[in-house]
């Protein structure tokens, strides 16, 4: 094998998107060659971070951008501390050579400078004539001397080590990825976006460059002051001219960050059309209204958690027609093409493509990733029992949680340049989903990256001032801790997400009212077809109920008994059985009650719990799956709609909470998600504004 080592380059790079630093130089294959480094050739190449331009839920344009624009990025995100240059065969991507340039190397400095108003980095590296001659010898009859040039800014030490021992002509290196086990401390995913060492950045697209036709022509470039230019014209006007300028398909090599970024702002105060934020109350929404359309219960988002962060990412991006690396349309460093959608949100055939992320083969099946979620994700949404892990996740050990009060300290710190401004939240890995099969859509809760928003229920003055005795009981429950845990405190029940009741007797009273019950005329005929009556009492009578109401200005409670036999399979019967057993906190009576109450698909059970920062209260949860490419429909999932793609900034703002969210305990939830639950349903729980930007920006309005 030929040892291609120590070719000297000069690298002039515009500020790259962030990448990780390294410690030691990288060889170009095999053992040390002992080449005479005094006899060398020099090259230069320009590198630029991708800064092309990319409402609500932006769409993909045809140049790896979105219709929401771009964001320049911070100094830390753009800083370059080291550069790894890789040369490969232009036909096979067979490995030729690599060279590392570090800012800390006094002999081969990475110089920060300004050229025509742009910040650039100029790096110096030397490659021996012996190695270059050996490469030319491998292809003596080549009609065109060219190489594919790959650039890794701030490469990880792991990547340097891999190239250190890579043999020439190897083609598998283009599939290398960085993987961090779910609970790894030695190989954290944060290495890809280290502010200290720099963000890892790689090519945006394939960069083919021409070399001198003959080995003898390298004599023009054997002086450090006259390097061969991989981004411009060499020996213009002479027979030995080699044109690598942009006009000839060369020019600057664009790079972009391997990471994506999530930003957030308080959408409740955005005053967007149809929003229901409570003015002057950050992150708070008027969720439940009384008959006069006045808010009686609000929900305040107190924290948010990232879930399903993919634990592995390809160094080099790739696309195909179906999102699988085995596709006939597979393209290394190919551009993401936009999809053209019909008015109903369905895509026009083959108008776009899919970005391929790691584990595409595992995700590209009917079952998708199943059960062993920690093998694929940090912060998995589901446990091995396929149940949502809220109870585990909110301890902070399994999920990445940030409280809104901590996020918005100080001034907004994004640099998008528009209004409103957003706060940085965190960086994330790429996670995309292949094309669906004939009978299934793979964009589901088990394998996409999302956010869990935790919201606390709050009583309003309107609820406090109501003369309805049950409203006053609900106000008391929301404002006063009445027990030591979720069973000794009052249990709340939501009906269709829009009505909230304090204790099951409140549900009984409301169900009778819905049926037209009049305590002054208890023998009347009831409308037992009312949906709330059926949800509570089923198809039978209501049995014996204590009915609380106002009579002659006083709150009274009277007992009424129904002549019709009760429905023994109703939720009310299950509650009576649970009460007769002393309200046990586990066992058959409790599980039967939960199943009967939530089984009709209308009641959600909320039990009080303690939050380590926001205290005791009744909490609910909203699940958001990150939108990448809008298909113009809120109920039909389109290609690449739910995804995270490298070098995108997703700007999120919750603008509306339509109804109460999911409960903490999955068994209390009539709509508890499963791994195959689609990421977008007809039921809308929340509205979020998301923008994805040199970072590509995407804007997404989120509505729950």
pLDDT digits (tens, 9 = 90+) for 2-52: 332 222 233 333 332 223 332 222 222 322 223 333 355 666 555 555 433
Task: Please give the average per-residue pLDDT across 553-576, as a whole number.
Answer: 96
Cα–Cα distances in Å, from 582 out to 536, 571, 589, 696? Answer: 20, 17, 10, 58
Domain regions of the chain by residue span: 7-258, 304-454+618-703, 492-606
Q: For all residues of the chain together, what is the average pLDDT?
A: 84
What's the topology of domain 304-454+618-703? Answer: Immunoglobulin-like (2.60.40)
Which two structure tokens, joined as six digits, stand for 414? Answer: 């994004």
pLDDT > 60? residue 573: yes
The pLDDT > 70 percentage for the chain reads 83
How far is 558 from 420, CA to CA, in rounded Å? 55
pLDDT in tens, 44-93: 555 555 433 224 567 888 777 788 788 878 888 888 888 898 989 899 99
pLDDT at 414: 83
Residue-level pLDDT at 511:
97
CA distances from 44 to 8, 118, 209, 214, 252 (A): 9, 17, 12, 19, 11
Nearest alpha-carbon partner for 26 in 79, 81, 80, 85: 85
For residue 210, the model assigns a pLDDT of 93
- Percent of the chain at pLDDT exceeding 90: 55
pLDDT of residue 681: 67
How far apart (Å, rounded) are the C-alpha atoms in residues 582 and 130?
Answer: 87
Q: What is the model's pTM? A: 0.88
Whether the Cβ atoms of residue 693 and residue 416 lie closer than 8 Å to each other: yes
What is the model's pLDDT at position 221?
81
**199-203, 254-258, 526-530, 645-649 — which is least confidently predicted?**
254-258
Quote the pLDDT of residue 575: 98
Positive or negative, the Cα torsion across 675, 680, 686, 687?
positive
Q: Over the stretch 222-237, which tens digit does the pLDDT of each residue have?
A: 777 777 888 889 999 9
Residue 403 above 80 pLDDT?
yes
What's the burial of 165, exposed, middle or buried (CB within 10 Å: 0-12/13-18/19+)? exposed
For 73, 421, 647, the CA distances from 413, given in Å and listed in that order, are 11, 7, 18
pLDDT of residue 635: 78
What is the pLDDT at residue 188? 92
* pLDDT above 90 (res 382): yes
């Amino acid at each position: 094998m030929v040892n291609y080592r120590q070719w000297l380059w000069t690298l002039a790079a515009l500020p790259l998107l962030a990448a990780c630093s390294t410690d030691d130089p990288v060889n170009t294959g095999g053992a040390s060659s002992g080449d005479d480094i005094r006899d060398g050739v020099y090259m230069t190449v320009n590198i630029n971070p991708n800064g092309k331009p990319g409402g609500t839920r932006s769409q993909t344009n045809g140049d790896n951008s979105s219709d929401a624009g771009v964001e320049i990025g911070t100094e830390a995100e753009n800083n370059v501390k080291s550069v790894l240059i890789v040369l490969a065969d232009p036909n096979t991507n067979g490995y030729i050579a690599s060279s590392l340039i570090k800012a800390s190397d006094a002999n081969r400095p990475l110089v920060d400078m300004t050229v025509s108003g742009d910040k650039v980095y100029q790096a110096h590296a030397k490659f021996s004539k012996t190695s270059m001659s050996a490469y030319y010898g491998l292809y003596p009859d080549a009609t065109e001397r060219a190489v594919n040039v790959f650039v890794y800014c701030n490469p990880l030490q792991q990547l340097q080590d891999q190239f250190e021992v890579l043999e020439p002509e190897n083609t598998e290196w283009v599939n290398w990825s960085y993987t961090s086990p779910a609970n790894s401390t030695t190989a954290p995913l944060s290495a890809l976006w280290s502010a200290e060492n720099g963000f890892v950045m790689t090519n945006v697209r394939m960069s083919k460059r021409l070399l001198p036709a003959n080995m003898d022509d390298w004599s023009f470039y054997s002086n450090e002051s006259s390097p061969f230019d991989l981004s411009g014209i060499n020996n213009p006007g002479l027979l030995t001219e080699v044109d690598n300028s942009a006009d000839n398909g060369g020019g600057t090599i664009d790079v972009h960050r391997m990471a994506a970024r999530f930003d957030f702002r308080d959408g409740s105060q955005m005053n967007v059309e149809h929003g229901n934020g409570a003015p002057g109350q950050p992150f708070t929404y008027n969720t439940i209204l009384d008959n006069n359309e006045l808010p009686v219960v609000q929900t305040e988002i107190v924290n948010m958690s990232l879930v399903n962060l993919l634990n592995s990412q390809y160094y080099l991006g790739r696309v195909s027609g179906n999102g699988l690396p085995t596709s006939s349309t597979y393209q290394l460093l190919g551009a993401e093409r936009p999809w053209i959608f019909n008015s109903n949100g369905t895509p026009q055939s083959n108008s776009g493509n899919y970005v391929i992320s790691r584990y595409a083969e595992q995700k590209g099946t009917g079952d998708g990733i199943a059960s062993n979620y920690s093998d694929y994700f940090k912060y998995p949404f589901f446990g091995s029992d396929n149940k949502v892990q809220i109870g585990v996740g909110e301890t902070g050990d399994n999920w990445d949680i940030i409280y809104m009060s901590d996020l918005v300290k100080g001034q907004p710190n994004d640099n998008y340049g528009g209004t409103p401004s957003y706060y940085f939240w965190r960086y994330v890995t790429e996670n995309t989903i292949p094309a669906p099969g004939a009978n299934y859509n793979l964009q589901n809760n088990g394998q996409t990256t999302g956010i869990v928003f935790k919201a606390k229920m709050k009583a309003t003055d309107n609820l406090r001032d109501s003369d309805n005795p049950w409203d006053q009981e609900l106000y008391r429950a929301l404002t006063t801790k009445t027990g030591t845990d979720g069973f000794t405190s009052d249990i709340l029940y939501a009906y269709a997400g829009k009505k909230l009741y304090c204790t099951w007797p409140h549900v009984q009273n409301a169900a009778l009212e819905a049926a037209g019950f009049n305590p002054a005329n208890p023998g009347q005929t009831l409308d037992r077809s009312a949906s709330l009556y059926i949800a509570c009492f089923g198809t039978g009578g209501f049995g014996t109920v204590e009915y609380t109401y106002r009579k002659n200005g006083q709150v009274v409670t009277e007992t009424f008994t129904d002549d019709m036999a009760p429905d023994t399979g109703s939720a009310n019967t299950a509650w009576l059985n649970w009460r007769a057993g002393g309200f046990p906190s586990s066992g058959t009576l409790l599980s039967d009650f939960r199943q009967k109450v939530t089984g009709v698909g209308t009641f959600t059970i909320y039990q009080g719990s303690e939050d380590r920062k926001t205290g005791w209260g009744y909490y609910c949860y909203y699940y958001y799956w990150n939108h990448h490419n809008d298909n113009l429909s809120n109920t039909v999932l389109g290609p690449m709609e739910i995804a995270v793609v490298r070098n995108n900034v997703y700007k999120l703002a919750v603008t509306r909470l339509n109804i109460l969210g999911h409960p903490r305990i999955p068994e209390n939830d009539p709509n508890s998600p499963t791994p195959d639950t689609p990421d977008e349903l007809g039921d809308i729980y929340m509205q979020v504004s998301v923008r994805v930007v040199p970072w590509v920006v995407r804007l997404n309005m989120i509505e729950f």
